[in-house]
Amino acid sequence: MSTMRDLLLGRQATPALLWGYDYWQSKRGGRAMPSRADLDPIEMKSFLPHIVLTDVLHNSAPDLPLDFRYRLMGTTVDAHMSRRFTGLRLSELPAQRPGSQMWLNFSEVVEQRQPRFHRVPYVGPHKDFLSLIDLVLPLSDDDRSVTMLMSLVDFIPREVNPPRGR
């Protein structure tokens, strides 16, 4: 049986994602997922610039049983985005509303209560990036319901001199 770490290695996850995953695992212990209270920023120095914490909002609006709010963005992530997202809900962002790939990725982690790894095309102000990779990890106050997502995000650059075809 393949573990999430094996999957990450096979998909060439960056060191920041691997360090974050190992940290999440160490805080999880025998539980399905750790809580936000288990996280200590001092212990997270090696990957803190790559972290995004997102609140999971259950039944926050009558017509929206699930929503997400960006709580914290690491400096690396924030620097490569087209705008500041901290404090905003996904439902407020046209490209991230229900039905978007971001929404589906987050919803899957909430429903399955399991980490998920994604690689998506980079859409942002820096044209030197080809794609964005992220690992979304669930956090829970009661080990049943996901109350927060801890994402680790990294940016994959375009090849400077791609190999020429023969």
Exposed e or buried b for every residue in 97-133, given b needs 16+ CB within 10 A? eeeeebbebbeebbeeeebbbbeeebeeeeeebeebb
**144-158 b/e (C-beta count within 10 Å ≥ 16 → b):** eebbbbbbbbbbeee
Whole-model pTM: value is 0.88
pLDDT at 17: 93
Task: Name the percent of the chain lying above pLDDT 90.
Answer: 53
Cα separation of 151 and 135, whole Å? 5
Domain ranges for the chain, please list them. Answer: 4-157
Report whether CATH 3.40.190.10 matches the domain 4-157.
no
Residue whose structure tokens are 């997922």:
33
Give residue-wise pLDDT tens across range 126-147. Answer: 778 778 889 999 999 999 999 9
Q: Residue 75 is inside which H or E element, if any? A: helix 75-79
With the C-alpha atoms ordered 38, 22, 20, 139, is the resulting torsion angle positive or negative?
negative
Each residue's pLDDT tens digit, 56-107:
998 877 777 899 999 999 999 888 887 788 999 988 888 777 888 888 999 9
The tens digit of pLDDT for each residue in 93-126 reads 887 778 888 889 999 999 999 999 988 777 777 7
In Å, the largest CA–CA distance within the chain is 58
SS3 category, 70: strand
Q: Is 50 exposed, middle or buried (0-12, 13-18, 19+ CB in 10 A)?
A: buried
pLDDT in tens, 6-38: 888 877 788 999 999 999 999 998 999 999 999
Q: Return all residues near 43 (Cβ < 8 A) that are at least 6 apart.
A: 23
Q: How far is CA 18 from the centre of its chain?
A: 13
156 φ, ψ to 5°?
A: -100, 120
* 120 touches 132 (CB < 8 A): yes
